[in-house]
Amino acid sequence: MTRFLLFVVIALGSLVARADVEEKGTDIQFFSPATSWRVAIPKGDWIISQEKRRPGGTGFYYMLSSKSRLLHFSIFLDKTNQCSSGEDCRAMFWRNPGPMYKDPKDVKQYEKNGFQVVQFHLDGVGGFPIRQANLSAHMYKDGYWLDVHISKVGSEVPSPDSMISLLESITVK
């Protein structure tokens, strides 16, 4: 039994050592083992609700939620040659944003904190009578598309202020 527990501890420890997300100081950091930089957000009360990795280590996806902020945050680090700048990546996203983004309202495009942003809201999501405010933010660095999505839901259209504040707090270091 002791050997089995030792094996489990070693196995889990080795998984953590190869992870592409980690808490470091006051941040949660997302990265590819193939890059020298990391994308960081302030730690707070974020809970990881979903994670995916592309075979071969060319793509990493995380979805998190924060009860205190009432926000959802996702990041996809994707090694790609389909776009070559934040503007290109944003344009590629916006040409085909996916079926969840039907009839976006109050669409604005701008640059913030090095990201190329599309800000919009949806009236009704997945058939539910809610309003969802969205920021889709894009950056391109060293062959990777950094695709960040921040959203907030409410019975009325939520103010984008807390989403913009989170976007402004993201660092790439």
* Residue 126: CATH number of its domain: 3.40.1000.10
37 domain residue, yes or no: yes
Identify the pLDDT of residue 55.
87
3 domain residue, yes or no: no
68 domain residue, yes or no: yes
DSSP secondary structure of 90-103? HHHHHHS--TT--S
87 domain residue, yes or no: yes
Alpha-carbon span 13 to 8, nearest angstrom: 8
Among 152, 149, 109, smallest CA distance to 132 is for: 152
* Residue-range definition of the domain harbouring residue 61: 20-172
Alpha-carbon span 68 to 141, nearest angstrom: 31
Q: Give this prediction's pTM.
A: 0.87
Identify the pLDDT of residue 17.
35
14 domain residue, yes or no: no
Identify the pLDDT of residue 19.
57
Report the Cα 121 to chain-centroid distance in Å: 18
* Model confidence pLDDT, tens digit, residues 54-77: 988 899 999 999 999 999 999 999
pLDDT < 50 stretches in the chain? 1-18
| Cβ 82 vs Cβ 144: under 8 Å | no
Identify the pLDDT of residue 127.
81
7 domain residue, yes or no: no
Number of domains observed in the structure of the chain: 1
